[in-house]
Structure 1
Amino acid sequence: MSATLAQALAADFQQRFGYAPLLVRAPGRVNLIGEHTDYNGGFVLPAAVDKEAVFAVGLNKGAQIRLVAHDLNETLDLDNAAEIAPSDTHWANYLLGVAAQFQLRGVDVPGFDCVFAGTVPLGAGMSSSAAIECGLAFALNKLLDAGFEKMELARVAQFAEHTYAGVQCGIMDQFASLFGRDGQVVRLDCRSLEYEYFPFDTQAARIVLCNSGVKHSLASSEYNTRRQECERGVSILQQHYEGISSLRDATMEQLEALKGELGGTVFRRCAYVVQENARLIRACDCLNAGDLAGFGKEMYGSHAGLRDDYEVSCAELDVLVEAAQKAPGVFGARMMGGGFGGCTINLVAPDKVDAFIESVSKAYEEKLGLKLETYQTTIVAGVGAVVEAQ
């Protein structure tokens, strides 16, 4: 996929600007388990997938920045690279924000040209924005010989999103795009940023995303409420126990002991986070043992916790997970992302994928009258240069 797209972008770039570009691909990501744990200092388990953003980038020996969104057939030109500022063009801000972060780190960013396109479905929770940021960050790092390590590039991309796109995201999406490995998932400790790889047998299971096609307006306000409820839980725990800086440090025994003081809602929120971290650790043990059924069981547990204790699921997501449980060849399923809409992530035996899509689509339409969009993905390596096709 990326090779043909890269060829098209290289041709477009050459035609517009008259010289040969550096070609880069940057994958989107899925998170297999570990939801709402990131801002609680916990663990996440993302993987880079074969839906990606592809870039043709070059230094133009002038001061201009010329950006081209190939898919949209839109362009944005900036006269002077020394005067980067947020623009009214939404997609361009992800790129301009990256260049601004290089400047903030003392790198002189000269004029450059960039043509990009992508296959990451928008609004599916696969982090198309992180792919766009990481792809340009990788390209500029290489072209300018800036010498930034991958973790620094992840921070560049994350802060680009904070400052130019106005989204206060964690580092998981950018991390996954840059650090992905073919046939492996990566466990990131969101507190220390230490990470570890685990094998994922891409021959034994495909990753199928089912897009509910809905996004309830609750999502952002409820997200902030959940953060506050977790913080409230931590502050109560800190009054009784030493060494608790986040829910990562809490145990179920401690929560049970303070159930009355925490109150039902805060207790359930905290219990979900503590249990989700434990589920993720067990899930990684299952991967080491090649036990996909065991891994899937933890995914189902994750969904139940998100539905009942964290209360960020919705009818559409619940119908999809329930239908997946009844479908043939499914190891596990759960909602993925912040909640109140978006996708479910399903691990499906390769020879059962078509039957799975058919049965879940049918159930979704029968129960809710909604058409289902699905995406099949597999795990790939993180951001890198595309070897030029001759």
Structure 2
Amino acid sequence: MKWFVPGRLEVLGKHTDYVGGRSLLAAVDRGITIELTDSDEPGVVASSTAVEGEQKLTPGVDPQLPKGHWANYVQAVVDRLHLNFGDLLPARIVIDSDLPLASGMSSSSALVVAVSLALIDQNGFRKREEWKANVHDDIDLAGYMATMENGLTFGTLEGLRGVGTFGGSEDHTAMLCCHPGQLTEFTFCPIVEGDSVDLPEDLSFVVAVSGVLAEKTGDALEHYNSLSLNARELAELWNDATGSEHATVADALSSDEDALEGLRAVAAHDERLTKRLNAFITESEVAIPRAVEALRAGDLEAFGKAADLSHRNADEVLGNQIPETNALQALARELGATASAGFGAGFGGSVWALVPTAEAEEFGDRWLAAYLAEYPQWEDTASIVVTRPGGPARRL
């Protein structure tokens, strides 16, 4: 059997999902393809066309691979499905991808989703009572697959160590629930699908891969996880101060018209928490609503300003941009892009620019050349991808 799972484009929504906020998302028209065949060997044997060799993975057995290795994501899926549903049938998996690695289009989550879908189908887990009790639709499925990475429990499906990231379900939701030709707004914790807006056919996204790998390891992993932990701490402080039991900052904000003022007071003693709160408010409550309203109205200038605000907020307040991604965003606007912003986990990765489809390839060439004139050290790893919103994950 074969499954295709697209990468995702986070148009806006930097570190908002696990806080219960908004994201504006698209599935892209490239991704990961998984081919699964039954095997006579016990366990799951996985190989990738991008690298030589293969990995034999056994539930509950640490493969002793470096952090960030692609097979660790496969292992996390194998371990979690085994914990929740019991023994897995032996399988051989071949992984192919046309997503740039560590580019911000979430090749790692696409791998998790693809392996999960293939193994779930092979083993008939959708027919099991414990599946039916917890996973009712693709929204639930996205939430469950997110917990394979962050290690949390989903309903009655017990959690297990994930892959070391404390992220949310934005990536998995985009891959399973977005629509061809459209950008879709979601809110999270729980996942709720909002409005979708058409992206005019005469516009495309040009993605510039900076060449700086957005690896979730080392200092980058620590900084990435600190953004999640700071958000949790804010919610806990609010609950302590008010006697409430809100799970996220977004829950707290929606509980009372004076909640924002109260949250600012709770965070006032700590600059770190104040910045985290401000970053969330600007992205989820200001930039994204403005962007969606602008797209509905066909006001591309206003959409560009909302994207500028999002990128500036990520750099100056959230603190997850680097000189290369800032340069790419500024260059895109200087070269005439309708809108541009960095996206993904940050600390490397990519920047998108919205441009006329007919000019996309030529724009990408000029954009990359201008970038490499400033950062020639990334000539071997920087690249350009032209894409439009594609369909969700599907069995081939």
Tell me the TM-score normalised to structure 2 length.
0.79
Aligned-pair distance for 1:116?
1.7
Report the CA distance shift for 1:304/1:214 in structure 2 as closer, same or farther (over 3 A): same
Report the aligned-residue RMSD.
Answer: 3.1
Give the Cα–Cα distance (whole angstroms) in 2 for the partners of residues 170 and 65 of structure 1.
26
Count of residues paired in the alignment: 361
Moved more, 309-318 or 285-294: 285-294
Aligned to 1:349: 356
Moved more, 198-207 or 247-256: 247-256
Aligned-pair distance for 1:86?
3.0
Deviations 1:182-201 (A, max 9, x none): 11233222222112241232
Kept in 1, the 8 Å contact 2:106–2:344? The answer is no
Aligned to 1:363: 370
Give the Cα–Cα distance (whole angstroms) in 2 for the partners of residues 265 and 317 of structure 1.
23
Aligned to 2:249: 247
Q: What is the correspondence of 1:280-359 to structure 2 with a 5 Å cutoff?
A: 280-328=288-336, 330-359=337-366
Aligned to 1:101: 80
Kept in 1, the 8 Å contact 2:175–2:392? The answer is yes
Report the CA distance shift for 1:59/1:188 in structure 2 as closer, same or farther (over 3 A): same
Report the CA distance shift for 1:153/1:351 in structure 2 as closer, same or farther (over 3 A): same
Matched AA of 1:87 = P
Kept in 2, the 8 Å contact 1:183–1:200? The answer is yes
Report the CA distance shift for 1:70/1:228 in structure 2 as closer, same or farther (over 3 A): closer
- Whether 2:149 is the aligned partner of 1:161: answer yes
Aligned-pair distance for 1:238?
5.6
Report the CA distance shift for 1:224/1:158 in structure 2 as closer, same or farther (over 3 A): closer
Kept in 1, the 8 Å contact 2:234–2:266? The answer is no
Matched AA of 1:178 = L
Report the CA distance shift for 1:67/1:283 in structure 2 as closer, same or farther (over 3 A): same
Aligned to 1:16: none
From 207, 210, 225, the equivalent of 1:209 is 207
Kept in 2, the 8 Å contact 1:299–1:334? The answer is yes
Give the Cα–Cα distance (whole angstroms) in 1 for the partners of residues 237 and 302 of structure 2.
34
Tell me the TM-score normalised to structure 1 length.
0.81
Moved more, 106-115 or 143-152: 143-152
Moved more, 303-312 or 351-360: 351-360
From 94, 99, 118, the equivalent of 1:139 is 118
Aligned-pair distance for 1:130?
1.3
Report the CA distance shift for 1:222/1:106 in structure 2 as closer, same or farther (over 3 A): closer
Aligned to 2:64: 88
Residue 191 of structure 2 aligns to a residue whose secondary structure is: coil
From 268, 278, 281, the equivalent of 1:271 is 278
From 102, 106, 110, the equivalent of 1:123 is 102
Provide the identity percentage: 22
Residue 137 of structure 1 aligns to a residue whose secondary structure is: helix
Deviations 1:269-299 (A, max 9, x none): 3222112112212322333334443322211
Report the CA distance shift for 1:247/1:54 in structure 2 as closer, same or farther (over 3 A): same
- Whether 2:45 is the aligned partner of 1:66: answer yes
Moved more, 171-180 or 231-240: 231-240
Residue 329 of structure 2 aligns to a residue whose secondary structure is: helix
Kept in 1, the 8 Å contact 2:166–2:228? The answer is no
Deviations 1:218-261 (A, max 9, x none): 53333344445445555665677786934324479617974994
From 367, 374, 381, the equivalent of 2:391 is 381
Segments of 4+ moved more than 6 angstroms? 239-244
Deviations 1:121-152 (A, max 9, x none): 11101111111121122222223332154345
Aligned-pair distance for 1:300?
0.9
Give the Cα–Cα distance (whole angstroms) in 1 for the partners of residues 201 and 48 of structure 2.
34
- Whether 2:55 is the aligned partner of 1:55: answer no
Report the CA distance shift for 1:341/1:258 in structure 2 as closer, same or farther (over 3 A): same
Moved more, 184-193 or 367-376: 367-376
Residue 344 of structure 1 aligns to a residue whose secondary structure is: strand
Report the CA distance shift for 1:143/1:228 in structure 2 as closer, same or farther (over 3 A): closer
Give the Cα–Cα distance (whole angstroms) in 2 for the partners of residues 69 and 355 of structure 1.
32
Aligned-pair distance for 1:35?
0.5
Aligned to 2:194: 196
